[in-house]
Structure 1
């Protein structure tokens, strides 16, 4: 697995490929407001791990392995985001999503996907859950922290 930072770099490269744009380390550094040296190290790691094809002074090319993994990352993010929406998580959603994504196992992600699909295909389930939330605003578990 990649660190969240490397995942972010890979997604920038992938989006550039989708937009049919050539991208270099300098371009990534500008887009992410990062030092060029840091970007070059990250790109070299992505190359070493066989997600991209990179050589100095040439545009970065994402390979099939990188494309597959980028699609996985996008799908994982969508599943987690839908899960948080179903749970009615609105505060700090982006931070929550990023944190959850970093620690999910494949098995948990698959079960989360099934839950999201179930909830989407059963809107009455989501409505009942939101009614339950309104009626039960107090936490049983968290009261022990007070």
Structure 2
């Protein structure tokens, strides 16, 4: 590996931290080890060198990001700068927005918990309804 190749590559765990996908490098390492990150359709090790043009698939909970690496960086900067390190595919963005809308609709349709504890009369009505 030449000097210019080394300068244009960075460890995948450092890049995930710098691009603000994970709060700490140790969380990024854990996600990589658990198989939640794929690089060019392969399961990488945390020390794998990431280069411009690599394709990543990152799964965080229910969210799935399919991104292309535009720049490499070892330094964590502000969020607008971190977002310039990658480009997310339109399909991935559309799926995430759809999942977000579904979660929002489920949350809005779920019954709200009571604001206060039931008083004596409400408890009696509840007991009657339950047959106790």
Q: Same fold (TM over 0.5)?
A: no
Q: Normalising to structure 1: TM-score of the pair?
A: 0.28
Query: More helix per residue: 1 or 2?
Result: 1
Which one has the largest radius of gyration? 2
Higher strand share: 2
TM-score by length of 2: 0.30
Kindly indicate whether structure 1 or structure 2 has the higher relative contact order, using CA contacts under 8 Å at least 6 residues apart: 2
